[in-house]
């Protein structure tokens, strides 16, 4: 979103430069006019070929393109050419990660779902710098983009050395994903053992590698 303070913007859109042929821009919805002091929104729709991302994250360079029409800030009266002049403005890179392809969902029986996945789990270990269990678990859930499965308040007891948590989500093509996290407090850090199960092993690998 963009707020214009000294003029009106016409035909505003965002242009993304993809580093990969996997993603193609299919639709751009422009903000036709953004008046002085107001906020407008424009949208870009991307289509991805294939079913599985080829890496944990991908970045797109982004630019805002628009025409500036000068107006009187008090009256809104047009001061210059009604077509305005073309401008471009660099934006922060747009980043897509594996968690953007995961929908958080609630599973009725996590253990049953976990055992029914025939593909072997992918396991990773990490050292995490967090002061308490809740902060560590929230960070893990954010990296995975998955739903924490029914924890109790006792699960976050910082006086206990070992903690176990389950996470569940659905990959965009409808594939269930399960993850188990074991946290062990050691001095001022947590040692995380993360196991991810999914029928498509590549998805498990991308999720297991996504914690940072």
According to the model, what pLDDT value does residue 34 have? 72
108 Cβ partners below 8 Å, 6+ apart?
Answer: none
Contacts of residues 115-120 at CB distance under 8 Å and 24 or more positions apart, as own/partner, are: 117/176, 117/178, 117/197, 117/198, 117/199, 118/199, 119/197, 119/198, 119/199, 119/200, 119/201, 119/204, 120/197, 120/201
103 Cβ partners below 8 Å, 6+ apart?
Answer: 145, 169, 170, 171, 172
According to the model, what pLDDT value does residue 25 have? 86
Report the share of the chain in percent with pLDDT over 90: 44
> What value does the mean pLDDT take over residues 92-115?
92
- Please determine, for residue 53, whether its predicted confidence score (pLDDT) is greater than 90: no
pTM of the model: 0.77
Q: Tell me if 5 sits within 8 A of 25, measured CB to CB.
A: no
According to the model, what pLDDT value does residue 35 have? 74
How far apart are the two ends of the chain, measured CA to CA in Å?
Answer: 28
> What value does the mean pLDDT take over residues 162-177?
94
> What value does the mean pLDDT take over residues 38-49?
83
115 Cβ partners below 8 Å, 6+ apart?
Answer: none
Of residues 86 and 109, more confidence is placed in 109
Give the C-alpha separation, 8 to 17, whole Å. 26
- Please determine, for residue 4, whether its predicted confidence score (pLDDT) is greater than 50: no
CA proximity to 14, closest of 79, 94, 73, 77: 94
Residue linked to tokens 């403005």: 89
Q: How many beta carbons lie within 10 A of that of residue 95, not counting itself?
A: 10
Q: Which two tokens stand for residue 9?
A: 């913007």
Q: How confident is residue 68, by pLDDT bands cut at 50, 70 and 90? A: confident
Tell me the backbone φ, ψ of residue 153, rounded to 5 degrees: -65, -30
- Please determine, for residue 105, whether its predicted confidence score (pLDDT) is greater than 70: yes
Give the C-alpha separation, 178 to 114, whole Å. 6
Of residues 114 and 150, more confidence is placed in 114
> What value does the mean pLDDT take over residues 104-108?
93
Of residues 190 and 64, more confidence is placed in 190
């Amino acid at each position: 979103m963009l707020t214009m303070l000294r003029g009106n913007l016409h035909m505003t859109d965002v242009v993304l430069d993809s580093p990969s042929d996997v993603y193609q821009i299919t639709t751009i919805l422009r903000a036709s006019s953004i008046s002085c002091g107001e906020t407008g929104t424009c949208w870009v729709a991307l289509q991805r070929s294939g079913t599985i991302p080829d890496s944990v994250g991908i970045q797109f360079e982004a630019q805002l393109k628009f025409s500036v029409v000068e107006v009187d800030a008090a009256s809104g009266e047009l001061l210059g050419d009604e077509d305005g002049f073309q401008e471009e403005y660099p934006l922060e890179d747009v980043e897509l990660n594996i968690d953007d392809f995961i929908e958080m969902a609630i599973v009725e029986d996590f253990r049953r779902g976990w055992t029914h996945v025939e593909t072997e789990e992918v396991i990773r270990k990490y050292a995490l710098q967090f002061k308490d269990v809740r902060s560590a678990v929230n960070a893990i859930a954010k990296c995975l983009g998955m739903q924490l499965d029914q924890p109790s308040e006792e699960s976050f007891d910082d006086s206990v050395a070992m903690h176990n948590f389950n996470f569940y989500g659905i990959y965009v093509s409808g594939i269930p994903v399960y993850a188990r996290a074991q946290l062990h407090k050691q001095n001022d850090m947590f040692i995380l053992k993360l196991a991810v199960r999914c029928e498509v092993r590549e998805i498990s690998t991308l999720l297991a590698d996504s914690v940072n």
